Chains A and B, each alone.
Chain A
Amino acid sequence: MAKYLLLKHYRGAPAPVNDVPMDQWTPDELSAHVGYMRDFAARLEDSGEFVDSQGLSPEGTFVRYDGEGRPPVTDGPFAETKDVIAGWMVIDVETYERALELAAELSAAPGAGGKPIHEWLEVRPFLAAHSTITECTSGG
């Protein structure tokens, strides 16, 4: 099994096919969308592939160290930031193809007019926390 992060962007991904902002949807369309996402997560838990799912506020602050004894420096939010993460789902699946399949399914969540959004999701493999023991004989 391998873990993948399915990343959803507020900004920075290519435009979806069904590109209508959420505040322009009808309440029923919003409910249908939320229901789809909930069912999707429940199905993944049932198939033993669910790890985590979280949403993020679009507002973020940049922070950095400013020297001993000084308070942290903060900056932003930056209106011009190109890439804004909206949330993620972490899955644990047998193959990369399965990760793509699930991302595509998530991308089909209904939007305006009850039609799939065709949203672009970014699929990122996790780096394992430890190395395999036997695979790299020459290494270890």
Chain B
Amino acid sequence: MDEALLRTLTPTVIGTLVRRGADFAAAEDAVQDAQVEAVRVWPDDPPRDPKGWLVTVAWRKFLDATRADSSRRRREERIESEPGPGPVEAVDDTLQLYFLCAHPSLTPASSVALTLRAVGGLTTRQIAQAYLVPEATMAQRISRAKRTVSGVRFNQPGDVATVVRVLYLVFNEGYSGDVDLAAEAIRLTRQLAVMTKHEEVAGLLALMLLHHARRPARSGSDGRLVPLAEQDRTLWNTRMIAEGVDVLQAALARDHLGEFQAQAAIAALHADARTVEETDWVQIVEWYDELVRLTDSPVARLNRAVAVGEADGPRAGLAALAELDPALPRHSAVAAYLHERDGDSVTAARLYAEAARAAPNLPERDYLTRQAARLNTQLRSS
């Protein structure tokens, strides 16, 4: 039973049904039903043409559902006579699905859920588990999203930027439940990059690959967070890094810089250093300058202060930090780090404890608490 294949085929089959005249919501339901049947039937009786099988079964499911609603009979008779799509249209259909699922009328959470189901081919249960909500809640989120986009014409050109933001959200969710959302985000972004030559899609794909390559080193065996400087770099996935760098270089060569390309460039410079001492912090600061120029994001400014601290010394980093709003998330964590580098363990320990109290997630809180505890233990014994 090839679940990966089944999921890869999902958007094409939905596209085929829509092209034959089904509306998106009904097509999506029918394909999901067909997938359930495939999971049941394929292990004992694998089809020679999986895609053809899915189209046939999904179309039958769609007709069954439509027939159940007798008022639609006339429309059904009309659409049954229409021809199926050729291979070129299949690519367009999948791209259109990306646009539809990331339509600006949807909230980010709805876009994410709909993308994972209609483009990613995940079941509602899998998506619910990944986002730690009941299946009924996720089912409602998806059906509301489908209602919201029901009036959108399927062949309407969409905005790649909204799609990229949705995929970035999926990637950041990481790993929970039995679905690896980071890997899924990479798969969907890779598929999108084949269909569109947009530089930021390539930039996002490169960023994801470069971050994902470090995942084995990012947490210890006990699940604790391992910061970049302390990671065992032999655990980094060099093949994935090489692919990320290639994708990034091809994008940068087209000379349309965007925030994801800039972030990927920073990740590439980290990946390029065999030891933390070899890190080219001066170039990293330059890329952060670009990123700040492109996004004006406070998070970018905060990370820039860290890079300045490495390139020009902790005092310079603290000076850069002094220009930022202390209420920014992770501000005290960055301040703690720079103060420790500057030799002020007392201030650093206090700020690490403060940062731990403000941490938005458990691994970060544990990491910051451990930093405070380490410094306080040192201070007691000195």
Instruction: List A residues at the B interface (Cβ < 8 Å).
Output: 1, 3, 45-52, 92, 94, 127-140
Contacts and interface: CB of A to CB of B under 8 A. Distances in A.
B138 interface: yes
26 contacts: A1-B109, A1-B131, A47-B140, A48-B141, A48-B144, A49-B137, A50-B134, A50-B136, A51-B137, A52-B134, A92-B137, A94-B108, A128-B361, A128-B362, A130-B361, A131-B174, A131-B225, A133-B172, A134-B172, A134-B207, A135-B299, A138-B303, A138-B307, A139-B333, A139-B364, A140-B225
Ranked 6 nearest A-B pairs via Cβ: A48-B141, A128-B361, A138-B306, A1-B109, A48-B140, A132-B172
Interface residues of B, number: 51
Contacts, number: 105
A130 B174 contact: yes
Interface of B: 107-110, 113, 131-134, 136-138, 140-142, 144, 168, 171-172, 174-176, 182, 207, 211-212, 214-215, 218, 225-228, 263, 266-267, 270, 299, 303, 306-307, 330, 333-334, 359-365
A50 B267 CA distance: 37
Contact of B138 (A48, A129, A136): A48
Contact of B136 (A1, A45, A131): A45
B306 A48 contact: no
A133 B361 contact: no
A135 B307 CA distance: 15
Nearest to A48: B141
Contacts of B267: 137
B140 A127 contact: no
A127 B267 CA distance: 26
Nearest to B264: A134
Contact of B211 (A51, A133, A138): A133
A139 B302 CA distance: 12
